[in-house]
Amino acid sequence: MKIAVVGSTMMDIVSYTDKLPAAGETRAVRDFHTAGGGKGANQAVAAARLGADVLFVSCIGDDMFGDQCRMNYEREAIDTRYVMAPKGVSNGVATIIVEEDGQNRILINKGANDALTPAKLKEAEQAIAACGLIILQLEIPIETVYAAIDMGVAHQIPVLLNPAPARADLDIEKVCACEFFVPNETELSILTGKPTTTVEEIKTAAAELLARGLKNVIVTMGARGSLWLTKERTEFVPTAKVRAVDSTGAGDSYIGCFAETWSRTGDILASMRRASRYAADSVTKPGTQDSYATKKAFEGND
Ligand code: RIB
């Protein structure tokens, strides 16, 4: 089953530091790199690296970063027929700071991602209609996200929405047609206006989304594991304890692996367990896409 990822492309500019600068202070960083990123691209790359056949629908820059991102997708054997480069628009860029404990802070400049309009999405409709799963995030215009969900409904294709970065104005009624809704605990809190510090609070907040009509809510909770909630059941999947060096893109690796496994097996719990192991492995290495294991490397630990 082919997977369509409709989402963002970014160039990640990453600095590793032991301490954040105070206002007005300049600090030298411990390490630095640039690499392909963007939540959509990361999820597409993770799924492709695990062997999925991936169609990526995205807007890249008409610039050097855009060229590098396209080459990256081609290297990963991703279907790039609808990786579009609107004239004169710059690539999306993410400025990322990773601290000593592996936690990250990210600022994004969406650039060409804002050009992925519903009209551009329509150009890819035939190719999307041939897929068995659509994956979405929120780094592209919100109207395009809603249009892609409608496209999924029209073609009877299940949709997985990762509501990241979170927006409090997401129209929950419009996203109820999604098969899977996969926020992390911070996104869940922003969406519901409820605290999500403890697992009990997370269950209460997720229950509100279920009451509003969402079907399968999967909450990723970093080192604490993930929770799957439906109206009838609640399942907890723990994650392996690892030493995190860089957690950037761990949530994306979870989604890419979940999608690849679910599209082969249809087994939600097994897909969550595998995705948990894949994401835990990714945080032990620096980088975002660079930290995603290939199928061969991962299956050695699988
Ligand atoms: O989820 C991690 C990603 O968020 C980074 O790669 C960055 O590009 C931002 O989009």
Q: How confident is the model at residue 101 (pLDDT cuts 50, 70, 90)?
A: confident
Choose one of 11, 12, 97, 246 to mutate for the ligand 1 pocket test, by most ligand atoms within 8 angstroms of C-beta.
Answer: 12
Q: Which of 119, 118, 123 is nearest to 136 (CA)?
A: 118
Q: In the predicted model, what is the mean pLDDT of residues 280-302?
A: 91
Q: How many CB atoms lie within 10 A of CB 68?
A: 16
What pLDDT shows up at residue 301? 59
- Of all protein residues, whose CA lies closest to atom 1 belonging to ligand 1? 249
Q: What is the four-CA torsion angle of 221, 224, 225, 231, rounded to 10 degrees?
A: -60
What pLDDT shows up at residue 302? 58
What pLDDT shows up at residue 155? 98
Q: What is the pLDDT of residues 80-98, one digit of tens each?
A: 999 999 999 999 999 999 9
- Of all protein residues, whose CA lies closest to atom 9 belonging to ligand 1? 38
**What is the token pair recorded at 257?**
């692996």
> Would residue 67 show up in a list of annotated catalytic residues for this protein?
no
Question: 220: Cβ below 6 Å to ligand 1?
Answer: no
Question: 253: Cβ below 6 Å to ligand 1?
Answer: no
Determine the Cα–Cα distance for residues 46 and 49; give it in Å rounded to an integer. Answer: 5
Q: What is the pLDDT of residues 22-64, one digit of tens each?
A: 999 999 999 999 999 999 999 999 999 999 999 999 999 999 9
Q: In the predicted model, what is the mean pLDDT of residues 230-257?
A: 95
Topology, domain 2-19+32-301: UDP-N-acetylmuramoyl-L-alanine:D-glutamate ligase (3.40.1190)
Determine the Cα–Cα distance for residues 183 and 177; give it in Å rounded to an integer. Answer: 16
Determine the Cα–Cα distance for residues 88 and 90; give it in Å rounded to an integer. Answer: 7
Amino acid code (one letter) for 181: F
Interval between CA 165 and ligand 1 midpoint (Å): 9
Q: Which one is predicted more confidently, 247 or 124?
A: 124
Determine the Cα–Cα distance for residues 95 and 89; give it in Å rounded to an integer. Answer: 18
Catalytic residue among 252, 281, 290, 302: 252
Q: Measured at the alpha carbon of residue 51, what is the angle toward residues 83 and 237, in degrees to the nearest 5?
A: 105
Question: 288: Cβ below 6 Å to ligand 1?
Answer: yes
Atom of ligand 1 nearest to the CA of 10: 8
Q: What is the pLDDT of residues 5-27, one digit of tens each?
A: 999 999 999 999 999 999 999 99
- According to the 3-state scheme, what is the secondary structure of the chain? CCEEEECCCEEEEEEECCCCCCCCCCCCCCEEEEEEECHHHHHHHHHHHCCCCEEEEEECCCCHHHHHHHHHHHHCCCECCCEECCCCCCCEEEEEEECCCCCEEEEEECHHHHHCCHHHHHHCHHHHHCCCEEEECCCCCHHHHHHHHHHHHHCCCCEEECCCCCCCCCCHHHHCCCCEECCEHHHHHHHHCCCCCCHHHHHHHHHHHHHCCCCEEEEECHHHCEEEECCCCEEEECCCCCCCCCCCCHHHHHHHHHHHHHHHHCCHHHHHHHHHHHHHHHHCCCCCHHHCCCHHHHHHHC
Determine the Cα–Cα distance for residues 198 and 300; give it in Å rounded to an integer. Answer: 34
- pLDDT tops 70 at residue 104: yes
Determine the Cα–Cα distance for residues 239 and 217; give it in Å rounded to an integer. Answer: 18
Q: What is the pLDDT of residues 200-216, one digit of tens each?
A: 999 999 999 999 999 99
Interval between CA 89 and ligand 1 midpoint (Å): 19
Q: How confident is the model at residue 300 (pLDDT cuts 50, 70, 90)?
A: confident
Residue 48: strand pairing partners: none
Interval between CA 248 and ligand 1 midpoint (Å): 7
In whole numbers, what is the pLDDT of the chain averaged over residues?
96
Determine the Cα–Cα distance for residues 242 and 281; give it in Å rounded to an integer. Answer: 8
Determine the Cα–Cα distance for residues 290 and 72; give it in Å rounded to an integer. Answer: 11
Question: 246: Cβ below 6 Å to ligand 1?
Answer: no
Question: 244: Cβ below 6 Å to ligand 1?
Answer: no
Q: How many CB atoms lie within 10 A of CB 237?
A: 21
Q: How many CB atoms lie within 10 A of CB 22?
A: 7
- Of all protein residues, whose CA lies closest to atom 8 belonging to ligand 1? 38
Interval between CA 38 and ligand 1 midpoint (Å): 4
Cα radius of gyration rounded to whole Å, the chain: 18
Interval between CA 231 and ligand 1 midpoint (Å): 31
